[in-house]
Structure 1
Amino acid sequence: MTVHIGAGIYQLKAPLEFTEADSGEAGKDITWLGEKGATLITGGLLLTGCQAYDAENPEQILSCPLDSTITDSISAEDNSRIKGNGPAFEMFLNEYRMQPARYPDFGWLYIKTPLDAKTQFSVYQKLPTFSGDLSNAQVHIFPSNDYFDQYLGVKNLDQANNKITLSSDSSNELAEGRRFYLQNAKEFLTTPGEWFYDKDNAQLLFIPPYDSVPKSPVISSTKNLINLAGASHIRFENLTFRHSTGNAITIVNSDSLAFDSLEINNVGGKGISADDQTVVDDNNTNIKISNSAIHHAGTGAITLTGGDRPTLQASGNSIYNNKIYNYTTNLMIYGVEIGGVATHVSHNLIAQGLSGGIRFTGNDHVIEKNEIYSICQNSNDCGAIYAGRDWTFRGNIIRYNYIHDSYGYGLTNVDIANNIIQYTYTGARGVYLDDGLSGTHVLGNLLVNAGNAAIQFGNGRDTIIENNIIKTNKQGLWATMYSPYYNWDWNRASLLTMPIDSELWKAKYPELTQPMAHDTWLEGNTIQRNVVISTAYKGYSLRYQLPAQSNVIDHNLVWHASSDIRVDYRIPDTGAFKGGALWSDWIAQGLETDSLNEDPCLTIVGSTVRLTCDNSPITRLGIKNLPSDMGLAK
Structure 2
Amino acid sequence: MIFQRLSIFTILTLVLIWSVAGQTLYVSPKGSDSNPGTLQLPLKTPEMACVKAAGAAQAISKIILREGIYYLKNPLIITSKGFGNKQIDLQSYANEKVTLSAGRKLDLAWETHKDNILKAKIDGPAFEMLFINGKQQPIARYPNYDSTARVFNGTAEDAISPARISHWKNPAGGYVHALHQGEWGSFHYKIKGVKNGELELEGGWQNNRPSPLHPKQRFVENIFEELDAPGEWFYDKASHTLYFYPPKGLDPKSANVEVSNLKHIIELRGTYENPLRNVTIKNIKFEHTERSIMEHYEPLLRSDWMIYRGGAVVMENTENCVITDSEFTNLGGNAVMITGRNVKSGVSGSHIYNIGSSAICFVGDSSAIRSAAFGYENFVPYAKMDKTPGPKNNHYPSQCFAEDNLIHDIGKTEKQCTGVQIEMASEIQVNHNTIYKVPRAGINIGDGAWGGHFIENNDVFETVMETGDHGAFNSWGRDRFWHPNRKTMDSLAAAHPELILLDAQKTVIIRNNRFKCDHGWDVDLDDGSSNYHIYNNVLLSGGLKFREGFYRIAENNIMINNSFHPHVWFKNSGDVFTKNIVMRPYFPILVKDWGKEVDYNLFASAADLKGAQAAKTDIHSKFGDAQFIDGKHGNYQVKNSSTAIILGFKNFPMNDFGTRKDNLKKLAQKVSFPLLLNADLEKTVKEMTWLGIKIRNVQGLGDRSAFGLSDEKGVIVVDVPASSILIKSGLQSNDVIISANKEMTENVVRLEAIRQQVNWTGQMDVEVLRNQQTVKLKLNLK
Aligned position for 1:593 = 619
Distance (whole Å) between structure 1 residues aligned to residue 467 and residue 404 of structure 2: 26
1:24-52 CA deviation, whole Å, 9 max, x = no partner? 85xx8432121436111111111212424
1:546-597 CA deviation, whole Å, 9 max, x = no partner? 233643101111216xxx655xxxxxxxxxxxxxxxx414313322221111
On the 8 A contact 2:188/2:203 being kept in 1, the answer is no
Task: Give identity over the alignment, percent.
Answer: 25
Relative contact order (C-alpha < 8 Å, sep 6+): which is higher? 1
SS at match of 1:297: coil
Q: 1:92 Cα deviation (Å)?
A: 1.6
What are the within-5 Å matches in structure 2 for residues 158-177 of structure 1? 164-167=199-202, 172-174=210-212, 177=215
Q: 1:286 Cα deviation (Å)?
A: 1.1
1:203-259 CA deviation, whole Å, 9 max, x = no partner? 122223455554222111122110111121111111111112252101111111011
Distance (whole Å) between structure 2 residues aligned to residue 260 and residue 176 of structure 1: 39
1:42-97 CA deviation, whole Å, 9 max, x = no partner? 1111121242433x51xx22323211xx215xxxxxxxxxxxxxx5x321222222
Structure 1 position 49 matched with structure 2 position 108: yes
Aligned position for 1:237 = 282
Q: 1:315 Cα deviation (Å)?
A: 1.6
Q: 1:433 Cα deviation (Å)?
A: 0.6
Structure 1 position 12 matched with structure 2 position 72: yes
What are the within-5 Å matches in structure 2 for residues 185-224 of structure 1? 185-209=223-247, 211-214=249-252, 215-224=255-264
C-alpha change, 1:71 and 1:522, in structure 2 (3 Å) is farther
Aligned position for 2:432 = 347
Task: In structure 1, give the amino acid aligned to 2:344.
Answer: N
Structure 1 position 436 matched with structure 2 position 490: no
Structure 1 gaps, min length 5: 73-86, 113-121, 276-281, 409-427, 483-519, 535-539, 567-582
Task: In structure 1, give the amino acid aligned to 2:403.
Answer: Y
C-alpha change, 1:455 and 1:5, in structure 2 (3 Å) is same
Task: In structure 2, give the amino acid aligned to 1:139.
Answer: V
Pick from 139, 142, 146 the counterpart of residue 179 of structure 2.
142
Aligned position for 2:553 = 464
Pick from 591, 597, 607 the counterpart of residue 546 of structure 1.
591
On the 8 A contact 1:523/1:547 being kept in 2, the answer is no
SS at match of 1:587: helix
Aligned position for 1:407 = 518
Count matched residues.
507
SS at match of 2:522: strand
Aligned position for 2:643 = 617
Aligned position for 2:130 = 91
1:503-558 CA deviation, whole Å, 9 max, x = no partner? xxxxxxxxxxxxxxxxx557110000111134xxxxx6633642336431011112
Task: In structure 2, give the amino acid aligned to 1:238.
Answer: N
What are the within-5 Å matches in structure 2 for residues 114-153 of structure 1? 123=161, 127=164, 129-153=166-190
Pick from 141, 144, 156 the counterpart of residue 109 of structure 1.
156
C-alpha change, 1:522 and 1:203, in structure 2 (3 Å) is farther
Task: In structure 2, give the amino acid aligned to 1:272.
Answer: V
C-alpha change, 1:381 and 1:9, in structure 2 (3 Å) is same
What are the within-5 Å matches in structure 2 for residues 329-408 of structure 1? 329-332=412-415, 333-339=417-423, 340-360=425-445, 361=447, 362=449, 363-388=451-476, 389-390=478-479, 391=500, 392-393=503-504, 394-404=506-516, 406-408=517-519
Distance (whole Å) between structure 1 residues aligned to residue 466 and residue 646 of structure 2: 42
Q: CA RMSD in A?
A: 2.8
Task: In structure 2, give the amino acid aligned to 1:43.
Answer: A
Structure 1 position 478 matched with structure 2 position 565: yes
Distance (whole Å) between structure 2 residues aligned to residue 625 and residue 148 of structure 1: 37
SS at match of 2:157: strand
Q: 1:312 Cα deviation (Å)?
A: 9.8
Structure 1 position 325 matched with structure 2 position 408: yes
Task: In structure 2, give the amino acid aligned to 1:548.
Answer: D
1:161-197 CA deviation, whole Å, 9 max, x = no partner? 7x55534567623267342111111001111232211
Stretch deviating more after TM superposition (224-233 or 623-632): 623-632
Distance (whole Å) between structure 2 residues aligned to residue 271 and residue 176 of structure 1: 27
Task: In structure 1, give the amino acid aligned to 2:418.
Answer: Y
Structure 1 position 3 matched with structure 2 position 63: yes
Aligned position for 2:320 = 256
What are the within-5 Å matches in structure 2 for residues 270-349 of structure 1? 270-275=334-339, 282-305=340-363, 309-310=390-391, 315-332=398-415, 333-339=417-423, 340-349=425-434
SS at match of 1:542: coil
SS at match of 1:127: helix
Distance (whole Å) between structure 2 residues aligned to residue 431 and residue 143 of structure 1: 22
Distance (whole Å) between structure 2 residues aligned to residue 356 and residue 544 of structure 1: 23
Aligned position for 1:530 = 580
Structure 1 position 61 matched with structure 2 position 117: yes
C-alpha change, 1:52 and 1:629, in structure 2 (3 Å) is same
Task: In structure 1, give the amino acid aligned to 2:338.
Answer: A
1:290-317 CA deviation, whole Å, 9 max, x = no partner? 1110111211111124697528978221
Distance (whole Å) between structure 2 residues aligned to residue 186 and residue 237 of structure 1: 41
Distance (whole Å) between structure 2 residues aligned to residue 176 and residue 365 of structure 1: 34
Structure 2 gaps, min length 5: 1-59, 146-153, 271-275, 293-310, 369-389, 480-499, 662-782
Task: In structure 1, give the amino acid aligned to 2:507.
Answer: G
Bigger Cα Rg: 2
Distance (whole Å) between structure 2 residues aligned to residue 126 and residue 605 of structure 1: 52
Distance (whole Å) between structure 2 residues aligned to residue 169 and residue 300 of structure 1: 18
User: Which structure: greater strand fraction?
Assistant: 1
Q: 1:615 Cα deviation (Å)?
A: 1.2
Aligned position for 1:579 = none
TM (normalized to structure 1)?
0.74
Stretch deviating more after TM superposition (383-392 or 459-468): 383-392
1:6-37 CA deviation, whole Å, 9 max, x = no partner? 11111100011101256585xx8432121436
SS at match of 2:646: helix
SS at match of 1:622: coil
